[in-house]
Structure 1
Amino acid sequence: MSMLEFRTQGYNPYAVKYSPYHDSRIAVASSANFGIVGNGRVFALNLTSRGIEVEQTFDTNDAQYDLAWSEINENQLIVACGDGSIKLFDIGVKDFPVMNFHEHKRETFSVCWSPITKDTFISSSWDGSVKLWSPTRQHSLRTLPIGSCTYSTAFQPSNPSIVSAVSSDSQIRIFDLRTPASAKYHLTTMIPVHGGPATASSAAPLPQGLPPSQPAEVLTHDWNKYRDTVIATGGVDRVIRTFDIRNPAAGPLSVLPGHDYAVRRLVWSPHASNVLLSASYDMTVRLWDDPGAALPDAAAAAATPGHPVPPAVGRQLGVMNRHTEFATGVDWCLFGAGGWVASVGWDERVFLWDANMLLQGP
């Protein structure tokens, strides 16, 4: 399986993102000493005829856990740091961040830029909060309390007012910023990732071979780009699940078991409604077919408490096992034929490869 490779010498990557503007530009957030102690480094990389080359690097005093490209300036990106700060870097401005946002009291673990209005971004932290920011203002616009370590936050791809978060308490939370702040700080929906259907007595049978669900930390989630009420989650219990936020009590639409250790990052394809990629502490990146994508929209709504519908079981399309340490990040290229992805791991390696190659086997 042919792939391009880059080495982040001395730094262990935590996240990789393709530019929303260029298919040849990616950025990697990384940390010295696996993020335990020491500084961080952002690598802005260019894909050239000579291979992957460094366009710019930025160092931070603390580890880096996530990053997001600006949606309004092709040369800017934000980085989530271990000291609780978020730094905005500009590839044309060397060495120092052009903005520094620092309200989180513990590690900032996730950042996401609004893909629609493009004028805000969000962050989540181990301090148990999600914050909404403008890139031009020092202080946050809004704080959404979660109450437990919040590993991942995201904007719904089609509605700039809807924000999601997953956390160590095994819940998906959905916030609608249009609701009054007095009403639960904009919280509109909570879905227990490991709760199953609403009542245990009427629980749908679990697919064969799947262990009963126990609450476990949820480390990652992503919105489906084509079915804008569907979210995929992954975490410590190794199973990827998809949910429809219109029916929080129904339990998962589908389950995708297969990873041997925690699922660290997952991302839906921007090219197909049924395909997602995941990166895991088992050192693999896996490509999945989500059968829930084929279900009629009414299927989720039909799962009433008295008649639960068992989750569909996803199909693993292929495994990329070239990483030799935890696989920590994965992202899809928005452009081109529809298969190019980037993956990173604690082995100091960045791989660029065609996910379609997985369909032909390892």
Structure 2
Amino acid sequence: MTLSFKTEARHGYSVKFSPYFPQRLACVTCQYYGIAGCGTLFILDQTPEGLAVVRTYDWNDGLFDLTWAENNENVVVTAAGDGSVLVWDTAQLKGPIRAFKEHTKEVNSVDWSLTRNENLVLSGSWDHTIKLWDLQNSQSLNTFSGHEYIVYNVAWSPHIPGCFVSASGDCTLRLWDARGGQFPTTVIPAHDGEILTCDWCKYDQNLLFSGSVDGLIRGWDLRDTTKPVCELKGHQYAVRRIRTSPFVKTMLASCSYDFTVRIWDFSRPEALEVVSHHTEFVYGLDFNIHVPGQLADCGWDEFLRVYYPACSTPVIC
């Protein structure tokens, strides 16, 4: 069964399930495809009647990404088109409780740390930089430079404290140690086109994945980054987001400008399943960490969907 919610006059950019509540998810959207206008954060619950709105919050610029806090069930951090990193308390009706604005251009990506209760947030921006935040401080803790073009995605390692990866329009993945200075520890020339997305394998600390405008998804072993360990072909246009499964070691999902979501076993060359329930670019994608096999996605067609692909569980696959 598929649950659908229409983000009326708002185009979906990112969707994430709550790490606390299996029924809850959040979605950030933009007016006018993110080119102009405001943005809206939706907090939704799955109910027997469908997807129900818990809260909505508006901002005066587009909202491009979000991350749930790992230390507070009600807190969401969003990336904004005006260069802001915004902190929202979803138990309150009012606007953001904090607004950090150090980036000089749009913020594309935000991510909350996953190891040792560090409670640190990363932000990646069109200004080519990555910033490290402790939300208790009024200023960022560090700025990481080196990318030569837009930083589209930042992602903390779920295994290694202080380690994160970034994906950029300069066609590289870069690995960083948040405690070790402002420069990358490793640079991987991963694709021939802009890299829009990256994610870590949840079961292998040395394995990560990248997705590019070239339509390819590649896997990388950090012990030898001279060549990819796998290459997944199938998307006709840019791969906008990839998410690795929290339940199946070799499974990942991807969404694309070709209007599809694809489910993969990265040990096989072809997609296990192609989901075609959008009529515009698909931008947001996430696995529910509480419910095996459940996915959510959102796109520019103003629809958010929650569903179970036929091949999303180890039993079926």
> What TM-score, normalized to structure 1?
0.84
Aligned to 2:154: 153
| Separation (CA, whole Å) in 2 of partners of 1:102 and 1:35 | 19
Aligned to 2:310: 356
| Separation (CA, whole Å) in 1 of partners of 2:62 and 2:231 | 33
Candidates 187, 206, 210, aligned match of 1:190: 187
Aligned to 2:281: 326
| Separation (CA, whole Å) in 1 of partners of 2:200 and 2:312 | 23
SS of 2:96's equivalent in the other structure is: coil
Residue 241 (str. 1) matches residue 218 (str. 2): yes
In structure 2, relative to structure 1, the CA distance for the partners of 1:245 and 1:159 (3 Å cut) is: same
Residue 41 (str. 1) matches residue 40 (str. 2): yes
Q: Which runs of 4+ in 1 moved over 4 A?
A: 357-361
| Separation (CA, whole Å) in 2 of partners of 1:246 and 1:162 | 15
Give 1 or 2 for the bigger CA radius of gyration: 1
Map Cα deviations across residues 171-219 of structure 1 (whole Å, 9 max, x no partner): 110011333x2xxx2421011103xxxxxxxxxxxxxxxxxxxx21000
Residue 175 (str. 1) matches residue 176 (str. 2): yes
Maintained 8 Å contact 1:319/1:358: no
Aligned to 2:13: 14
Aligned to 1:134: 134
Aligned to 2:119: 119
Map Cα deviations across residues 3-59 of structure 1 (whole Å, 9 max, x no partner): 011110110000000000011000000000110100000000011122110000110
Candidates 245, 265, 269, aligned match of 1:314: 269
Candidates 180, 194, 197, aligned match of 1:220: 197
SS of 2:91's equivalent in the other structure is: coil
Aligned residue pair count: 313
| Separation (CA, whole Å) in 2 of partners of 1:261 and 1:147 | 23
Between stretches 139-148 and 30-39, larger displacement belongs to 139-148
Aligned to 1:210: none
Q: CA deviation at 1:244?
A: 0.8
Structure 1 residues not aligned, in runs of 5+? 195-214, 292-312
SS of 1:34's equivalent in the other structure is: helix
Cα RMSD of the aligned pairs, angstroms, is 1.5
Residue 54 (str. 1) matches residue 53 (str. 2): yes
Q: CA deviation at 1:229?
A: 1.1
| Separation (CA, whole Å) in 1 of partners of 2:50 and 2:151 | 37
Structure 2 residues not aligned, in runs of 5+? none
**Aligned runs of 1:86-105 on 2, under 5 Å?**
86-105=85-104
| Separation (CA, whole Å) in 2 of partners of 1:220 and 1:29 | 17
Aligned to 2:105: 106
Aligned partner letter, 1:340 = Q
Maintained 8 Å contact 1:100/1:138: no
Aligned to 1:299: none
Q: CA deviation at 1:118?
A: 4.3
